A and B are shown apart, each in its own frame.
Chain A
Amino acid sequence: MITVGMDVGTRTTRAVVLEEGQRLRAKIRLPTGYNFAQSIQGAYDAVLAAAQVTPAEVDYLAATGFGRYRVEKRDLSITDITAAARGARFFFPRTRSVLDVGAGNARASKINEKGKVLKFRSTEKCAAGGGGFLERIAFYSQIGLDRLGATALGAHNPVAISTVCSVLAESEVINLITQEVPLEDILMGAHQSVVGRVLLTLKQVGIEQEVTLTGGLVENPAFVQAFEQKMGGKLNSSGDLYYAAAVGAAYLGHQRLLKKRGEAA
């Protein structure tokens, strides 16, 4: 059985192909951009090509992310929380706390041994608790987003960014730059600010080992380091957790299909 999972996020659309609910055959990412229909179709076509699967061979398509309702061919739509939790457990079966940090916001959930979400919280009203804050900092400091985390790791004396608002933080960053504070220290300070806010969200649901990080921030080593330091523990953040929600969606699609076929038989 072939199931496709698609995670249409505020910045990036991910698509994965899962075989028998177990083997990750292909994964792809594309910018979500302005034209949803185009990026969704593009990601779908690309992931099928990468997995060497024809559209006719796809048994089920499950969608998640803020743009999930735009996936017209979907058989199922799943909330970000549930999809990320399932995806986290797919890669790290002993996961009990899931932290999913995307560009828009951060979502924390506590799951039981079966992967069921017991409790969740998210940063909803403002962008300060999401990767968008760091994206802005990267923009203000004129350093590419891809180099942001690695540069921050060079910090010796991180300077806290006290402004919560991602937009108003611009003046603070520029002031620090003109005061000749090393860029690494400003950037690490910015990471620590986001970590502080995100950790608060995670604490609201309760921290239980293992803790797994999913979403775009998985690829930011400074965020992971700052988070582990502040939490005082290890964070699962390796490999394909960037695609966790898409994988979670595909996995849940597989489960749904099994159940449906079982009922039909």
Chain B
Amino acid sequence: MQASRSYYAGIDAGSTYTKGALVDDRGNIVGTAVDMTGVNIVTASKKIYGLLLDKTGMNESDVAYVVGTGYGRYRITFGNTQVTEISCHAKGAHLLYPNTHTVLDMGGQDTKAIRVNAHGEVMDFSMNDKCAAGTGRFIEGSARVLGLKLQEVGELSLRSTNPVKISSTCAVFAETETQEQLAWGHSLEDVLYGIHASMATRAIGLLRRVGIEPEITFTGGVSMNPGMIRALEEQLGQRLNHDGKTMYCGAIGAAIFALERASSATHEGGSAA
């Protein structure tokens, strides 16, 4: 029965969060799910897939094809195939914002700048390879030493009136510097905004390497952080596309790839299941 298998899933196993997205046969987003990855990627990806099916009221038999992405994509045991997160973020951003030409994906331990064409295909990309400077870990570490929740720091930083300059590049040193700046009497909000501004500067450096062409779509977990959005928009002097769905961009892109792969497999006469 073809009719029962008309949904396509994408699972994005990230370093911090695992995300899932389900699309229908016309590429409409039917549902999304997210949870912490934790230490076991296999368990986390299975859990997210289950959660995604529960939330959308589907069964595994309704899903024709599953694509895995993210740094843990090769551990997703139930997927049909894997696609790199760079291609998936480009594809997902293009779906959400069709005029996207530049994608900035900020995750837990990678930051990527991607230039995409009018079809959402990757033309060029650049990423942090050797170290965690300028990634979500930078904020996470500072949040931890301050005893704050990750979700709080962006919001708090928006209340900054006199941002502090954070000079450390290393995410570990930034934790020490955070404490030091507070000890010098700077306000929590000003130090936090300084952290966001420092990260924004590094991210923009990556964007420049691929070329900044509007529209810019901001994806990944950090795209939910209002402090980061403000810092990036201030330094770039332009608006970024972002919304509640952009953190699922990798999973959404993977789901669209699932739809495309399944269709081409069907056209070639193969079985999608």
Given contacts A167-B137, A171-B15, A174-B39, contact A132 B132 (CB under 8 A): no
A167 contacts B131, CB within 8 Å? Answer: yes
Task: Please measure, in the bound complex, the distance between the C-alpha atom of A63 and the C-alpha atom of B172, giving whole angstroms.
Answer: 25
Q: Considering the complex, which residues of chain B in the window 170-192 have a beta carbon less than 8 Å from any beta carbon of chain A?
A: 170-173, 176, 179-180, 182-183
Give chain A residues whose Cβ lies under 8 Å from the Cβ of B173. Answer: 104, 126-127
Given contacts A171-B15, A178-B40, contact A166 B172 (CB under 8 A): yes
Task: Please measure, in the bound complex, the distance between the C-alpha atom of A139 and the C-alpha atom of B176, giving whole angstroms.
Answer: 17
Contact with B along A124-140 (1 / 0, CB 8 A): 01110000100010000
A10 contacts B170, CB within 8 Å? Answer: no
Give chain B residues whose Cβ lies under 8 Å from the Cβ of A165. Answer: 130-132, 171
B39 contacts A167, CB within 8 Å? Answer: no
Given contacts A10-B176, A104-B176, A174-B39, contact A167 B183 (CB under 8 A): no
Q: Does A264 contact B (CB under 8 A)?
A: no
For A171, give the chain B residue with the smallest CB separation: B15
Which of A67, A70, A126, A178 is close to B170, meaning CB atoms less than 8 Å apart? A126
Give chain A residues whose Cβ lies under 8 Å from the Cβ of B179. Answer: 34
Task: Please measure, in the bound complex, the distance between the C-alpha atom of A167 and the C-alpha atom of B135, giving whole angstroms.
Answer: 10
Q: Does B71 contact A (CB under 8 A)?
A: yes
Q: Does B169 contact A (CB under 8 A)?
A: yes
Give chain A residues whose Cβ lies under 8 Å from the Cβ of B84. Answer: none
CB distance from A42 to the nearest CB of B (A): 15
Given contacts A126-B131, A174-B39, A178-B40, contact A167 B172 (CB under 8 A): yes
Give chain A residues whose Cβ lies under 8 Å from the Cβ of B171. Answer: 127, 165-167
Instruction: Please tell me the size bucket of the interface on B.
Output: 20 to 34
Give chain B residues whose Cβ lies under 8 Å from the Cβ of A177. Answer: 39
Task: Please measure, in the bound complex, the distance between the C-alpha atom of A178 and the C-alpha atom of B130, giving whole angstroms.
Answer: 23
B109 contacts A171, CB within 8 Å? Answer: yes
A168 contacts B109, CB within 8 Å? Answer: yes
Q: Does B10 contact A (CB under 8 A)?
A: no
Q: Does B141 contact A (CB under 8 A)?
A: yes
Q: Considering the complex, which residues of chain A in the window 144-173 have a beta carbon less than 8 Å from any beta carbon of chain B?
A: 164-168, 171
Give chain A residues whose Cβ lies under 8 Å from the Cβ of B182. Answer: 34
Contact with A along B180-209 (1 / 0, CB 8 A): 101100000000000000000000000000
- In this complex, the member of B71, B135, B173, B179 whose beta carbon has the largest number of chain A beta carbons within 10 angstroms is B173
Given contacts A164-B130, A165-B132, A178-B39, contact A136 B172 (CB under 8 A): yes
Task: Please measure, in the bound complex, the distance between the C-alpha atom of A171 and the C-alpha atom of B183, giving whole angstroms.
Answer: 32
For A35, give the chain B residue with the smallest CB separation: B183
CB distance from B198 to the nearest CB of A (A): 14
A167 contacts B40, CB within 8 Å? Answer: no
Which residues of B are in contact with A by a Cβ distance under 8 Å?
15, 39-40, 71, 109, 130-132, 135, 137, 141, 169-173, 176, 179-180, 182-183
Which residues of A are in contact with B by a Cβ distance under 8 Å?
10, 34-37, 67, 70, 104, 125-127, 132, 136, 164-168, 171, 174, 177-178
- Given contacts A125-B169, A165-B171, could you give 4 more A-B pairs where the C-beta distance is less than 8 Å? A126-B131, A126-B173, A167-B141, A178-B40
A selection of 18 A-B contacts at a CB cut-off of 8 Å is A35-B183, A36-B183, A37-B183, A125-B170, A126-B131, A126-B169, A126-B170, A126-B173, A127-B172, A132-B172, A164-B131, A167-B171, A167-B172, A168-B132, A171-B71, A171-B109, A177-B39, A178-B40
The 8 closest A-B pairs by CB, nearest first: A127-B172, A167-B132, A165-B131, A126-B170, A167-B137, A167-B171, A36-B183, A127-B170
